[in-house]
Amino acid sequence: MKDKIVLILSGGMDSFTLLHRALNQNYEVDCLTFDYGQRHIKEIECARLACHENHLPSLQIKIANVESIFAASALTSDSIEMPHGSYQAESMQSTIVPNRNMLFISHAIAYAISKNIKQVWYGAHAGDHFIYPDCRPEFLSAMNAVAQICHTFPISVEAPFLNYSKAEIVKIGLDLGIDYSKTWTCYEGQDLACGKCGSCNERLEAFALNNIADPLTYQD
Amino acid sequence: MKDKIVLILSGGMDSFTLLHRALNQNYEVDCLTFDYGQRHIKEIECARLACHENHLPSLQIKIANVESIFAASALTSDSIEMPHGSYQAESMQSTIVPNRNMLFISHAIAYAISKNIKQVWYGAHAGDHFIYPDCRPEFLSAMNAVAQICHTFPISVEAPFLNYSKAEIVKIGLDLGIDYSKTWTCYEGQDLACGKCGSCNERLEAFALNNIADPLTYQD
């Protein structure tokens, strides 16, 4: 029997690659996608399409009261300007959505318990560590410690790409034949990717390091 | 300046007492109350009234997709019979709502960060330990470890009644002059408390141990 996992699928490149690798490794995957008032709502459509094309059980969860609980983030608030440039910049702090990953993982653990699934996966990777506390190895380790004892049986939380760069993730995806035009990365909520925000910058760099063009169409 | 806390207020006796003790100790309290599809929705009205009477900032958060993520609990599913009797019985396992407290605490931490508040309190007590993994000291300790590193500044998670029995909590509340007719405890979703479910049993025993009558009206 295949192992079952719950995967937090955003519709971005990392979780999309993780999904395809899990399917390639014969895991049975249930996907959870979160609507948390993100400007880049297009990623949800990418997640929905990925589940549909792969005939996967999926659930879209709408986080309530996001205007109160995620007040401080440029990703959810139109009143905070989206920073442009590199992820190494201090200005990227405004793209932190407070405690987002614990919130997502909490839902995923509850869902997993209800389905008798023992593993929750999410797409944190090495490029996230500098800005996002809830993508760091120590966060994953602490989440795992609490997930082991939050119910009558232990749940494990995995981030298989935790120590991979974005470029390494793209390489894995390209080797699997993934079509990255079916993912969404840009933090701005526009029809075409801006090519300027930290997220676009990181994506473009990952393709450049693989010496291959990003199949996505950009504004410029 | 007073310390600020976020308190998870259910409308039951424990969090209601914790609220009044915090106010008595001059904390500034923001309350979060969760609608998670519980049968005993009357507790939410008690929480709302407590916030209104004390002029407190409060937020009611509706957990989405509860039919999928909390499928296995008698508290949220009409298809699972509510067990009667003592909390020491194995049958009470069906009243576990999977990972409920991590889910609530995750929201509360996000809210706290957005308001620059550093403490989250919830009403776990010693009587919960036998049945509910997410009310045990080791869970609180592990939650705290992850709350310390989930953001750019640490959040602490406190359960001041963790080692108090229900009877001791009632004694604290009675000493504070709390009117317990303004709380709701019964797990059944009826107009009057059943007096038979584990939760009613525990409440009635706590009043009996204090040699005082419960001011609530019961069915029998």
CB-CB neighbors (< 8 A) of B140 in chain A: none
A138 found inside a domain: yes
A171 found inside a domain: yes
> pLDDT value at position A18?
98
Task: Look at residues B175, B170, B220, B191 and name the one whose alpha carbon lies nearest to residue B12.
Answer: B170
Domain that holds residue B203: 4-209
> pLDDT value at position B203?
96
> pLDDT value at position A162?
97
pTM of the model: 0.95
Q: Do B142 and A139 touch (CB under 8 A)?
A: no
The interface predicted TM-score of the complex, written ipTM, equals 0.94
A217 found inside a domain: no
Query: How many other CB atoms sit within 10 Å of the CB of residue A150?
Result: 26
A214 found inside a domain: no
B76 found inside a domain: yes
Give A205-220 pLDDT, tens digit per residue.
999 999 999 999 999 7
Task: Look at residues B162, B179, B215, B200 and name the one whose alpha carbon lies nearest to residue B50.
Answer: B179
Give B21-73 pLDDT, tens digit per residue.
999 999 999 999 999 988 888 999 999 999 999 999 999 999 998 888 887 78
Give B143-175 pLDDT, tens digit per residue.
999 999 999 999 999 999 999 999 999 999 999
- Inform me whether the pLDDT recorded for B86 exceeds 90: no
CB-CB neighbors (< 8 A) of A138 in chain B: 149
Question: How are beta strands B28-35 and B58-62 bridged, if at all?
Answer: parallel
pLDDT over 90 for what percent of chain B?
76
B220 found inside a domain: no
- In chain A, the residue whose alpha carbon lies closest to the alpha carbon of B108 is A69
A175 found inside a domain: yes
> pLDDT value at position B92?
82
Q: Do B63 and A64 touch (CB under 8 A)?
A: yes
> pLDDT value at position A83?
86
- Inform me whether the pLDDT recorded for B89 exceeds 60: yes
> pLDDT value at position B84?
86
CA A11 to CA A34: how far, in whole Å? 10
Binding-site residues on chain B for chain A (CB distance < 8 A): 59, 61-65, 68-72, 93, 96, 98-103, 105-107, 109-111, 113-115, 133-134, 136, 138-139, 142-143, 145-146, 148-152
CATH number at residue B84: 3.40.50.620
Q: Which residues of chain A have pLDDT under 50?
A: none
Q: Do A146 and B139 touch (CB under 8 A)?
A: yes
| Tokens coding A41 | 């709502």
- Inform me whether the pLDDT recorded for B1 exceeds 60: no
| Tokens coding B157 | 């998670």
Total domains in the fold of chain B: 1
Q: Please report the beta strands in chain A, taking only residues with DSSP state E, as ranges in sequence order.
A: 4-8, 28-35, 58-62, 119-121, 156-158
> pLDDT value at position A100?
96
DSSP state of B121: E
